Structure 1
Amino acid sequence: MKTRFTELMGVEHPVMMGGMMWVGRAGLAAAVSNAGGLGTITALTQPTPEDLTREIARVRDLTNKPFAVNLTILPSVSPPPYAEYRRAIIEAGVTIVETAGNRPQDHVADLRAHGIRVIHKCTSVRHALSAQRMGVDAISIDGFECAGHPGEDDIPGLILIPAAADKVTIPMIASGGFGDGRGLVAALALGADGINMGTRFCATQEATIHDNAKQAMLANDERGTNLIFRSLHNTARVAKTAVSDEVVRLLAQPGATFADVAHLVRGAQGREVLEHGRLEAGLLWAGQVQGLIHDLPTAADLIGRIMRDAEAIIAGRLRGMAG
């Protein structure tokens, strides 16, 4: 299946693995790339830029196919050395980077000056157009269904994707709520050039997260998420657990601030969930696509199934409807 995205990135299938903290490591990224998709390692999962350099080398030991590195820029009291991570990416000869977060202009300019193709993740049409003017090569447009930060506009993919496709002229992939061939066909019909999946790739054999976390995603249905930080204007979608229920409860109190939930939402505690399976330790980040996850395949089996199902829908059901 050829799209503008597959041709731009040099991949076989229009399926990308999203950048995910503590999940985007070499093994899973290489498995996705070897299966014909675009695997992604997450820069800030690595403790230092030197560790990132070593992780990039590990990906290359496992695949000779294209892969990406995610660099997410978020406001922080003690921000990581973003410029040093960017330099490590450039010096390692990475050819594709997914950026996300606030004010990425300096990073995008430097990456593109070194011939790196940049995919920027956005949650609104206006931000997608801003990124296009900035000079990125492709857009990942995130609908309200997604895990992580869906923005404050609450626009689901069914509206956001075609609204963006009407105005964005560079290749665009759809993110948020995708997990099977039906979603891929829908994304293509709405004007996207492929799909970007995060939660669905967490529920694969190569994802190096604890089975307790994977089983929680299997057990949850499409209602199994919570929206947290709404009152702080930094909305995030996470799996519905006792911890995220408590975060919602605490922030609903009059005058509540981030300090009231900081002990529950620290990133290190989320890492405990993923690496040690202690669901009571912190947040489990997952999207509404949990309702479409019913097994734990290999990345290759998942991508193969998505493509077979998509092709069958296009060649069978849709063509039959067309008479």
Structure 2
Amino acid sequence: MTSFENRFTRMFGIEHPIVQGGMQWVGRAELVSAVANAGALGFITALTQPTPEALAQEIRRCRDMTDRPFGVNLTTLPTINPPPYAEYRDALISERIRIVETAGNRPTEHLESFRAAGVKVIHKCTSVRHALSAERLGVDAISIDGFECAGHPGEDDIPGLILIPAATRKLSIPVIASGGFADGRGLVAALALGAEGINMGTRFLCTQEAPVHEAVKARIVEADERATDLIFRTLRNTSRVQRNAVSTEVVEKEKQGASFEQIRDLVSGQRGRKVYETGDLDYGIWSVGMVQGLIHDVPTVRELVERIMSEARQIVANRLPGLLATSAHPVTAAAE
């Protein structure tokens, strides 16, 4: 059987080169443990938990559900009233977490503590220049997010087909491809582009174990790749979300020159959380990627991971070798 073992799987102690990255309000123990038990790498989202103490409890809850490796996502962003990032960091270290996904700002202030505790860091970013900066800081791997992704794709608008090989050509540490991945075809493509695995958010959001309302999953299944909106474009803080009544209103207000203060209530994170909890799909904005156009069912996490790996093996074993077969009637150059 074709093996997909590589630097990344060996470094993080996982069976398959598949990652479930941090997702606000979604990265909870029931999903993360299911990903770990399926042989992939899942991340609890630290700031989904209201306090560092609650994060510690969620880590323990996840450990009750799996004995395999999992990590914690710590996203740091510039805000007027930032959460106590250092306390969240210390909580995950105290709970003996050995893998962290950082995102948002450069993880400079946290790396010394992580190194001292033996924590491996995957930094998520949206450009080659930021990836190179993180590599110089000493992170262990990069998750590079193409323009197709859910959430924040950066401001360069570079799709994965360009961004992934551009990053892997310049980086020496493992690179995980993120944005637009949902199946075995995507995994093989990412490996061909130089990545050593894939990071999926929207695809894991649409699984049975994802702790969100079934109406959210049904919308992803029925939507196509065109049904997303880019909000905050005028604020240089672009975010890709599911198209709904609120996102449409935000886009229109931005076209009219609205400031953030004028749309703040519409884009409240608490409103997005209510969407996941109640299934009221037009109550707030919620992140989803263009890859929803490739999602047509709601499997268990194990079924999804096994399907992706089976598809990837079939492509490598059956389809690709045929492209190298010698033709019985090779094409010859036209006579001069």
The normalised TM-score by structure 1 is 0.99
Q: Does 2:302 match 1:289?
A: no
User: Which secondary structure state, in structure 1, belongs to the residue aligned with residue 64 of structure 2?
Assistant: helix
The CA distance in 2 between the partners of 1:234 and 1:252, in whole Å, is 15
Unaligned runs of 5+ in 2: 326-336
**Equivalent residue, structure 2, for 1:206:** 209
**Highest CA radius of gyration, 1 or 2?**
2
Look up the match of 1:316. 318
1:236 partner amino acid: S
State which of 35, 41, 44 in structure 1 corresponds to 2:44. 41
Q: Alpha-carbon deviation of 1:227?
A: 0.4
Q: Which moved more, 1:110-119 or 1:293-302?
A: 110-119
The Cα offsets for residues 152-184 of structure 1, whole Å up to 9 and x where unpaired, read as 000000000000000010011000000000000
SS at match of 1:230: coil
Map residues 143-292 of structure 1 onto 2, 5 A cutoff.
Answer: 143-253=146-256, 255-292=257-294
Give how far 1:109 is off.
Answer: 2.3
Mapped partners of 1:103, 1:7: distance in 2 = 25
Aligned-pair CA distance for 1:84: 0.2
Whole-angstrom distance in 2 between the partners of 1:74 and 1:247: 21
What secondary structure sits across from 2:154 in the alignment? Answer: coil
> Residue 31 of structure 2 contacts residue 210 of structure 2 at CA under 8 Å; is this kept in 1?
yes
Q: Percent of counterpart pairs with the same letter?
A: 64
Distance 2:301 2:12 in 1: 19
Q: Which amino acid aligns with 2:298?
A: L
Distance in 2 between residues matched to 1:152 and 1:210, nearest whole Å = 31
- What one-letter code is carried by the residue in structure 2 that aligns with 1:34? N
Deviation at 1:281, TM superposition (A): 1.2
1:62-111 C-alpha deviation (Å, 9 max, x unpaired): 00000010000011111100000000011000010000011320112211
Aligned residue in 2 for 1:57: 60
Return 5+ residue gaps in structure 1 as ranges: none
Structure 1 position 302, deviation (Å): 0.2
> For the residues of structure 2 that align with 1:107 and 1:239, how far apart are their CA atoms?
32
| 4+ residue runs over 4 A deviation | none
**Shift of the alpha carbon at 1:279?**
1.4
- The answer to whether the 8 Å contact 1:147/1:238 transfers is yes
Distance in 2, matches of 1:59 and 1:85, equals 17
Give the match's secondary structure for 2:266: helix
Q: What number of residue pairs does the alignment pair up?
A: 322
1:305 lines up with 2:291 in the alignment = no
Q: Which AA in structure 2 matches 1:64?
A: D
Q: Which amino acid aligns with 1:268?
A: Q
Alignment correspondent of 2:328: none
Which residue identity is paired with 2:267? V
Q: 2:30 aligns with which of 27, 30, 38?
A: 27
Secondary structure in structure 1 of the residue aligned to 2:147: coil
CA contact (8 A) 2:106 2:134 kept: no
Task: Kindly provide the CA deviation profile for residues 89-135 of structure 1, in whole angstroms up to 9, marking residues without a partner as x.
Answer: 11000010000011320112211221100000010000000000000
RMSD over aligned Cα atoms = 0.7
* Cα offset, 1:313, TM superposition: 0.3
